[in-house]
Structure 1
Amino acid sequence: MLDLNAPVERHDEPYRWAVAHSVIPEPTTRILREQLPAPQDLHPAERTGDGDKTYRMAVLPLIHRGAHEPGMAKVGEKWHELVSRLQSDAYRDWVNRTIGIDVTDTMMDIGLFVFRGGDRISAHTDKPGKRATHVIYLNDDWRREHGGQFEVRTGPDLSISPYATVIPGGGRSVVFARSERSWHAVAPVAAHAPQFRLTCQVEMWNLG
């Protein structure tokens, strides 16, 4: 289910982040796509205006602070297995080894995030209570021209080019430590993208 010895590219600038390759092997990813919930089970999420973070996407929460959400009843058996593995000690140890952040005592949020054409997330650093995030891309074939890249940024100004970008597919995933410098964004998904941008997101939160 999880290959915790998969290749990893580690980075220390502009904050601690890494790209892992095929943490979830492709045969398993294919089954996860087959066991996605019905579109009407996803919850639209949108924030506009002049706030510190704007976004548009659809979400199905699966785990909130370590407890099952109703969304778990909407996904297939392979998703239940994945959620269990993502809360294991072995996975927490992998996060520690990958970005040098101890997440042993954190509470987890796990969810399915779906981005359609035009969906995006503005540059932000995440809330102070979050210790680390792992975004696992579930699309097998995604090209740069489809948009939706994960953007590693040095600040909130979107007129400045990203420090680095990650194409959200092909077995890739991004894990990073939260800090006051952990600026990141999701570029808008292109209107002509042939499929929705699919991710499983794991958030590790401080207790209390």
Structure 2
Amino acid sequence: MEGAEPLSILDQRVLASCADHREAFASADPFPHVVIDDFFAPEFAAALLDTFPAFERGNAVGDDGKVGGKSTLERVRALGPAYRRLDDAIQSPAFLRLIGQITGIDGLLYDPWYLGGGTHENRHGMSLDPHVDFNYHPSERWHRRLNLIVYLNQEWDAAWGGNLELFRDPHEDRRPTRSVVPRFNRCVIFETSERSWHAFDRIALPAGREDLTRRSVALYFYSHERPAEETAPRHTTYYVKRQLPEHLVEGHVLDGHDVTELTRLLQERDAHIRMLYAENTALRKAQDKGIGGHLLYLAKRAYVRFRR
């Protein structure tokens, strides 16, 4: 059948249950999403894992400009036949139509640059704070609409952390509305919007298993248009630091674990504040440079003197 070949990377049960997935996506809480187990055909999922890139091959520089415990690689076609087949499939009209049918979003666009996407790998100790993603493609006038993540961890336990967390409002909620264990060949598709708060909790592997890593393939999809009521001014990824653990209430006696956790949370918050100040300083320096910066300086100077 014409157009069906790209869908051969999927387990055929995904196609057969399309209507069920659409219903689950539309009715999900706290925002539209669906979890689909056994997403890829078994042999294809195994091939993706077998040729998953070494941590050192990806980019491990974080938002703070320092090398950390997360590695990403956007040039997936360089990873061999399985990833070239994946790339060919996800840009096909058949695949885009299928994802559109599941999510109810028409006119989905594939990102040939995988900006922010591709392969993701996280080591022991890593976590991801609640955030909403950047809402426009960095180089195109496209609205970001969907994240599609497939996990490639053959051995993973919920107690080890690294669970995808979906929040109603992380400014208020200490716990996520839903937590998803990143098990092998499990796919999560969720709408990206101004309320699609997501994160993953700290990876804490058991003694002797710290060599394991949390692996996934992240695919982002866009559209030319978006309903006006869902459209917001362009912004970058917006992070919120986590609330205090639920057990820290009046009358609780701190133990060593509590002190360690509080120290870590304060260190992370301080690092976040330092990063924001550094970004603000960099923006002001850029603003002050050149003719435009000089004209802005003169305008501010005139305004201040006029006010006196």
TM-score, normalised on structure 1?
Answer: 0.82
Query: Does the CA-based 8 Å contact 2:37-2:185 persist in structure 1?
Result: yes
Counterpart of 1:3 (choices 11, 28, 45) is 11
CA gap of 1:190–1:181, structure 2 versus 1, over 3 A, is same
Q: Which stretches in structure 2 are left out of the alignment for 5+ residues?
A: 1-8, 137-143, 226-308
**Matched residues in 2 for 1:81 and 1:32: separation?**
10
Does residue 145 of structure 1 match 2:159?
yes
Q: Which runs of no fewer than 5 residues in structure 1 stay unpaired?
A: 49-54, 63-70
The within-5 A match list for 1:1-208 is 1-3=9-11, 5-6=13-14, 7=17, 8=21, 9-10=24-25, 11-47=27-63, 57-62=70-75, 72-73=77-78, 75-105=79-109, 107=111, 109=114, 110-129=117-136, 130-157=144-171, 160-192=174-206, 195-207=212-224
What SS is found at the alignment partner of 1:155? coil
**SS of residue in 2 equivalent to 1:141:** coil
Would you tell me which structure has more helix in proportion to its own residues?
A: 2
SS in 1 for 2:125: coil
- 3-state SS of the aligned residue for 2:86? helix
Cα offset for 1:47?
Answer: 2.9
CA distance in 2, matches of 1:59, 1:149: 18
Which residue pairs with 2:230 in the alignment? Answer: none
Q: Give SS of 1:85's match.
A: helix
Counterpart of 2:61 in structure 1: which amino acid? A
The amino acid that maps onto 1:84 is: D
Deviation at 1:206, TM superposition (A): 4.0
Larger RCO of the pair (alpha carbons < 8 Å, separation 6+): 1
* Structure 1 vs Structure 2 CA RMSD: 2.4
In the aligned structure 2, how far is the partner of 1:3 from the partner of 1:93? 16
- CA distance in 2 between partners of 1:105 and 1:33 (Å): 26
Q: Does the aligned pair in 1 maintain the 2:12–2:41 contact within 8 Å?
A: no
Deviation, structure 1 residue 27: 2.5
Q: Which residue identity is paired with 1:122?
A: D
SS in 1 for 2:10: coil
- Give the C-alpha shift of residue 28 in structure 1: 1.9
Q: Which residue of 2 aligns with 1:52?
A: none
- What is the identity, as a one-letter code, of the residue corresponding to 1:147? G
Greater percentage in strand: 1
Letter of the 1:100 partner, please give it.
G
Which secondary structure does the structure 1 equivalent of 2:176 belong to?
Answer: coil
Which is higher, the Rg of structure 1 or of structure 2?
2
Query: Is the 8 Å Cα contact of residues 36 and 76 (structure 1) preserved in structure 2?
Result: no
Once the two structures are superposed, residues 137-158 of structure 1 have per-residue CA deviations (whole angstroms, 9 ceiling, x without a partner) of 1112211012110111112348
Post-superposition Cα deviations, 1:29-62, rounded to whole Å, max 9, x if no partner, equal 22211112233211103235xxxxxx95110012
**Cα distance between partner residues in 2 of 1:2 and 1:166:** 21
Q: What secondary structure is seen at the aligned counterpart in 2 of 1:79?
A: helix
Distance 2:128 2:69 in 1: 7
Q: Deviations over 1:68-90 (max 9, x none)?
A: xxx532x1211111111111112
Contact 2:57 2:73 in 1 (8 A): yes
1:47 partner SS: coil
Q: Percent of aligned positions with the same letter in both sequences? A: 24
